[in-house]
Structure 1
């Protein structure tokens, strides 16, 4: 990665486990691939980013029942249920919900025009401002989704992760948007269509994620937000698991720490690969148009 110190990067990744879900809305993606480039809902007609429980079902004056259908109840959709289960089993320090439609680094809240109170919220915003400065030259909007986009969104993933799952740092990143594209041309609005722009977007956001991986652990420690959340990847627990897999203790004993390091490197390779794949998957993350400073913005 250009501009990244390999030694410091490897040191940061030695203590990082990354899980990537490259495709949440599988059925919605199929509709997009069939030519409906402005479709954002799942196969049952539900907006998955309105199907979570925090402030679920509240309707603003400009509510669009077709585009913002929240489902019959919180977590009525299997996709939202799967993601909720992942948040419980993995218990992450950081959760990032990736969208396109603009360039933005959002933190809670989506359903109101405020950010959470406390030191952790201040650290989140400070980190996002630094990332915006170093990787995007200040192009990204930074702050709460509800206070920046121009409308409130109820029942979103990020608000649930912060309020209910208690993830220390929960974000929504909007990684690309073409404000000059027609509102009817959703493919160009939400996706880079030339090689140079594509490469820039990939490089910028990979660099941003790596910066977050490097800086967030110390920020979380300073706010005492890491106690009880670290995952043991070495020692007797891993070694015992490996011995059991090798036939109740028979066979060569694999070192637990080396196994953990190998697993983390694998996660990182998958993350980089997914960054490339994600660039082609944003068509299904469509939302309603809003005017801001003469541009059409989406989240």
Structure 2
């Protein structure tokens, strides 16, 4: 929206957090894989007991459910993000456990599912493989496919994996 909390969803979340004063906030995203604690806008990780405990839990869950980047969002994601719900709730609403789960990366899923097929490919086909990636990115459905399970098998595998976490 044009300003902070100008959209109905963000305004609702802000008001709900004020009313309920939760101890935990879990923000579920897709587009990559990751377990993140605050901060998204900085490479610094807050030195609080809750953040330390969150990192301990994340480090226990990560090898089983994700095997992906884990830690402070700005520290491990590869970019800084400003104005996130995670950081707002952690800093302004004092929600001690504020976690982002990045639960689906279509490109990673595709790689995992086709790993045994790729092993059989001739190493001389790298140039055609690179052209294939370029063609995929020019596909109008690329964004949808890279961030969302688009068939029943992908959706089931993603839900099964994360629901047991």
TM-score range, shorter chain: 0.7 to 0.9
Instruction: Give me the whole-angstrom Cα distance separating, in 1, the residues matched to 2:143 and 2:50.
Output: 36
Question: Which structure 1 residue ranges, 4+ long, deviate > 3 Å from structure 2?
Answer: 180-184
C-alpha deviations, 1:46-89, integer Å up to 9, x for none?
3xxxxxxxxxxxxxxxxxxxxxxxx2x32222321111011111
Larger Rg: 1
- 2:57 alignment counterpart: 127
For residue 157 of structure 2, the aligned residue among 200, 209, 215 is 200
Matched, 1:110 2:67: no
Matched, 1:155 2:83: yes
Matched, 1:96 2:53: no
Q: How far off its partner does 1:97 sit?
A: 1.2
- 1:62 alignment counterpart: none
Q: How far off its partner does 1:99 sit?
A: 0.9
C-alpha deviations, 1:19-54, integer Å up to 9, x for none?
xxxxxxxxxxxxxxxxxxxxxxxxxxx3xxxxxxxx
RMSD over aligned Cα atoms = 1.7
Q: Could you say which structure has the higher helix fraction?
A: 2
Q: How far off its partner does 1:143 sit?
A: 1.0
Q: Contact (CA 8 Å) 1:87, 1:165: kept in 2 or not?
A: yes
Q: How far off its partner does 1:163 sit?
A: 0.6
C-alpha deviations, 1:123-173, integer Å up to 9, x for none?
11010111112333x2x2101111222221111100011111111100111
Q: TM-score, length-normalised on structure 1? A: 0.43
Instruction: Give me the whole-angstrom Cα distance separating, in 2, the residues matched to 1:119 and 1:166.
Output: 13
Matched, 1:142 2:70: yes
- Cα distance change of structure 1 residues 135 and 151 upon mapping to structure 2, 3 Å threshold: closer
Secondary structure at 1:171 match in 2: strand
- 2:148 alignment counterpart: 191
Q: Contact (CA 8 Å) 1:183, 1:189: kept in 2 or not?
A: no
Q: TM-score, length-normalised on structure 2? A: 0.75
